[in-house]
Structure 1
Amino acid sequence: MKLVKSLLLGSAAGLAAVAGAHAADLPAKKAAPVEYVRVCSTYGAGFFYIPGTETCLRVSGRVRADYLFGQAFSRASDTVGFRTRGRIQLDARTATAYGLLRSVVRFEITRSSGTPFGNTGTVGSSSPNVAEAFVQFGGLTAGRVTSFFDNGDLPTGHMGTLRFSDAPDVDLLAYTFSFGNGFSATLSLEDGLERRNGAVAGAFSYGGQRVPDVVGNVKYTGTWGTAQLSAAVHQIRSANLFTTAGFAQFPDTEYGFAVTGQVGINLPMLAPGDAAWLAATYANGALGYITGGANNSIGVGTLSGPTVDAFFNPATGNVSKSNAWSVAGGFRHYWTPQIRQNVFGSYARFDYSAAANIAGLPDFNEWRVGTNVFWSPVSGLDMGVEVLYAKVDPRNRVVLPLGASQSSWEGRLRVQRDF
């Protein structure tokens, strides 16, 4: 047995040696190189290098669910509303010899139903939206991004609507000059169609846009907070036709304007994260810089007031500009690192001249005040409730559909996850 066992072991060893010798003579196939994703810490958390490039990319998103209760003023009105929003955002950045090259795309899809998210009594509908898509190269910004009329660094925290421009996204072409030490200035050409307030029957009708809105700002950002002074010029080109001395002609093109001062102040001496903000705005013929965009009216319940940039006087063939101003502000306080509260409000006043009686435009003001509380049990998750009170109050020339003042309450519940 020992002899047989020795012969078997010897044969196996010999075969292994022969096989190894032949394998060494065969051509070897090298393994493909593995390219690992590298973390890019230059621009903050979440960025990584796109393999094979020096471009850093961050993928982020949001899921938001809103539930709203609004005071009903008729049996046909919805009392509750639902809104669900999904967001995907890509932020790509590359360091170049000319400065930072950055591109951002933010897609949002929103499904809304019920008051005031959708039309009363209708089933919810989905609305895809390219919320932002822009390129920044050095000081150049091109695409759709937050209007440079607004200070996007304000520590606002409201869910409902307040009456100031409130950082809407618009299509624009801008250049920012950085002076160092937190100071900068921007000159921006922005889409005026998104700021139009008009189209009131028998009063004023906009013609085609010939020049964009011109927006400029001066901004400071420092450890104590941020401050910005902005101005905008808005074209008012009427499509109304009037006849005088037997000739039909269009009124002269007018230009409205708006100015705003917006300040945010950090208050860490109260609690880490505490802050306050204030925005004061005046508009002459450019009410979209107070209402936040293209609106023909604002209101509460069944009472609404017209927000018209200008009105046409058929007796003279002239276009008269409207005036409005607003003050908005708020305060944020962290009761604990996980629980914060915002208190906020706004007051807006809309004034039309005596000639506006021809167009049936009454003066009015609007109050809005509210508060909310958010709980963030883990990073990226917010759960909050909000209550908001609003009141519209007609003044001076009271013309239907305005009558006595009217007010309403609304409440919101929000669950939001950012990642």
Structure 2
Amino acid sequence: MKLVKSLLLGSAAGFAVVAGAQAADLPIRKAEPVAVDYVRVCSAYGSSFFYIPGTETCLRVGGRVRAEYRYLEPFDRSDDTVGFRARGRLNVDVRTPTDYGTLRAYIRYEITRDTGSYNFPINGVAANSPDVAQAFVQFGGLTAGRISSFFSNADIATQHFGTLRFDDTPDLPTLAYTFSFGGGFSASVALEDNISRRNTGLPVGLLGTTFGLPTNVVFPGFNFPFASYVPAGDTAPDFVANIKYVGTWGNAQLSGAVHQIRDLGIPPTLTAAGAIVPGTGRLFNDAEYGWAISPSVQINLPFFAAGDYFWVVGTYAQGAPNYAGFTGSNIGFGGDITTIGLTDATINAFTGNLEKTDVWSIAANFTHFWAPTLYSSIFGSYANVQFGGGSSTVLTAPTFPTFSGLTVGFTDFNEIRIGGNTIWSPVAGLNLGIEVMYTRVDFDNRVPAVVSGALGTVVRPAGTSDLDVWEGRLRVQRDF
């Protein structure tokens, strides 16, 4: 047995020697080096950019997650008081240096899910909406695509959660060019989407309902001589321009816009036989042009505390209330307390004229830093809305004895909004905030009709021509 083991071991050793000798005779082939292209940081455009490997193009991927909880003072038991919001945002920023300046492409995608007190239309936006909020190309001074309006001052640092009445950087399609003059001065001209700025609300009728016909609404023995204009096809974009200065002390901007109002026309009232009832309607299919102007300024206040600032924005608009921050065709205040039709213009059925809506507003904000990671803001806005002649009617007896004294149609009003919030940022990119806001609407001593909902019809008693509502929000937001 020992002899067998010795023979086997000897044979194995012999094979190993022979194999090693043969291997030594073979040429040795070295492994080729593997090229490794490491990701490089791109610091030319700010933090978080990196070079796309193999190119001189810089890329940044970012986004936001927002959770928000809202209390809204109800009008009656049918209203939701509590609301929940979840919003996600993803954005991609791509920039390449060229001989003509930076070539940039940007995409921002947002998805919002709302319930409860959020779940009625706010500013004309659907409650649950995926949205390509921005998608644009910039090349030198050229901007093309969907981006914040050039009427807005994008350099103002807004901190409020709720709505204030000024043009708070809405996103819309545009084609613009910006001229840079050096020393902080620039000017921009833009052609922007007219339809995104259009307000065509229906007048408020009996008990808060809206009339569903774009014409004179006839009840037995009474004719309501008002109607919102009915928009015809869009034939001209809005023309927007601004002049801006950005310096170490803050920034200032003067903006202007021209807005087309093109009416389809209203048919006359017809008898049962199809004949025109004399004096009940006049065909009108013409175009008018509204306009808006807005100065704004933000001033840094480092002598109070590092980071403190104050800003104020004023707006006057004629035939273009959207530019003053009224971005929905029907504006609701607190659940279904009331709905006010907002329109660029009304038809005066007695004259056949297109009567433009006048709006002026002023909004302001002061932000103070208690510490580098803790700050508070107080803010507010005041707005005055005046509709054209013949835009509303006060019901009288004996035609409407039950509703005598109520105002129906487009009702002039003043609105004040005031609020404050505190935001804590314990770590970079995380904001924890709480906000309270009060809104009051005064209908210039006119008495609106109001619908209460499931519990039956409620008409506000005489002398109560104002409405007010409180709301509060809690926000948790992570930016990356």
Paired residue for 2:249? 224
Paired residue for 1:64? 66
Deviation, structure 1 residue 273: 1.1
Deviation, structure 1 residue 232: 0.5
Contact 2:282 / 2:352 at 8 angstroms: preserved in 1? no
Q: Give the direction of change, closer, same or farther, for the CA distance of 1:100–1:222 in structure 2 (3 Å limit).
A: same
Paired residue for 1:176? 178
Deviation, structure 1 residue 36: 1.1
The 5-angstrom pairing of residues 128-147 of structure 1 reads 128-147=130-149
Contact 1:345 / 1:370 at 8 angstroms: preserved in 2? yes
Q: Say which of 366, 390, 404 aligns to 2:465.
A: 404
Paired residue for 2:306? 272
Letter of the 1:233 counterpart: V
Deviation, structure 1 residue 31: 3.9
Q: Give the direction of change, closer, same or farther, for the CA distance of 1:305–1:119 in structure 2 (3 Å limit).
A: closer
Q: Could you tell me the TM-score, scaled by structure 1's length?
A: 0.91
Contact 1:334 / 1:340 at 8 angstroms: preserved in 2? yes
Q: Say which of 410, 413, 419 aligns to 2:474.
A: 413
Deviation, structure 1 residue 253: 0.8
Paired residue for 1:374? 423
- What is the DSSP-based 3-state SS (H/G/I as helix, E as strand, rest coil) of the residue aligned with 1:272? coil
Q: Say which of 384, 408, 418 aligns to 2:433.
A: 384
Contact 1:168 / 1:293 at 8 angstroms: preserved in 2? no
- What is the DSSP-based 3-state SS (H/G/I as helix, E as strand, rest coil) of the residue aligned with 2:468? strand
The 5-angstrom pairing of residues 27-38 of structure 1 reads 28-38=30-40
Letter of the 2:246 counterpart: T
Indicate the percent of aligned positions where both proteins have the same amino acid.
Answer: 50
Q: Which runs of 5+ in 1 are unaligned?
A: 1-7
Bigger Cα Rg: 2
Distance in 2 between the 1:142 and 1:242 partners? 40
Distance in 2 between the 1:217 and 1:194 partners? 19
- What is the DSSP-based 3-state SS (H/G/I as helix, E as strand, rest coil) of the residue aligned with 2:324? helix
CA RMSD, 1 decimal: 2.7
- Larger RCO, structures 1/2 (Cα 8 Å, 6+ apart): 2
Q: Give the direction of change, closer, same or farther, for the CA distance of 1:379–1:336 in structure 2 (3 Å limit).
A: same
Deviations 1:376-405 (CA, angstroms, capped at 9, x unpaired): 100000001000111111005545358521
Q: Give the direction of change, closer, same or farther, for the CA distance of 1:185–1:119 in structure 2 (3 Å limit).
A: closer
Deviations 1:291-331 (CA, angstroms, capped at 9, x unpaired): 35343334345133332211001222210111010000101
- What is the DSSP-based 3-state SS (H/G/I as helix, E as strand, rest coil) of the residue aligned with 1:269? coil
Distance in 1 between the 2:21 and 2:291 partners? 91
Distance in 2 between the 1:125 and 1:248 partners? 38
How many residues are treated as equivalent by the alignment?
Answer: 411
Q: Say which of 265, 287, 292 aligns to 1:253.
A: 287
The 5-angstrom pairing of residues 348-367 of structure 1 reads 348-357=383-392, 360-367=409-416
Q: Say which of 85, 88, 97 aligns to 1:86.
A: 88
Paired residue for 1:157? 159
Letter of the 2:75 counterpart: F
Contact 1:152 / 1:167 at 8 angstroms: preserved in 2? yes
Paired residue for 1:4? none
Deviation, structure 1 residue 344: 0.4
Paired residue for 1:317? 352
Paired residue for 1:234? 259
Distance in 2 between the 1:336 and 1:17 partners? 78
Deviation, structure 1 residue 199: 3.8
Contact 2:119 / 2:127 at 8 angstroms: preserved in 1? no
Letter of the 1:48 counterpart: F
- What is the DSSP-based 3-state SS (H/G/I as helix, E as strand, rest coil) of the residue aligned with 1:210? coil
Q: Could you tell me the TM-score, scaled by structure 2's length?
A: 0.80
Letter of the 1:43 counterpart: Y
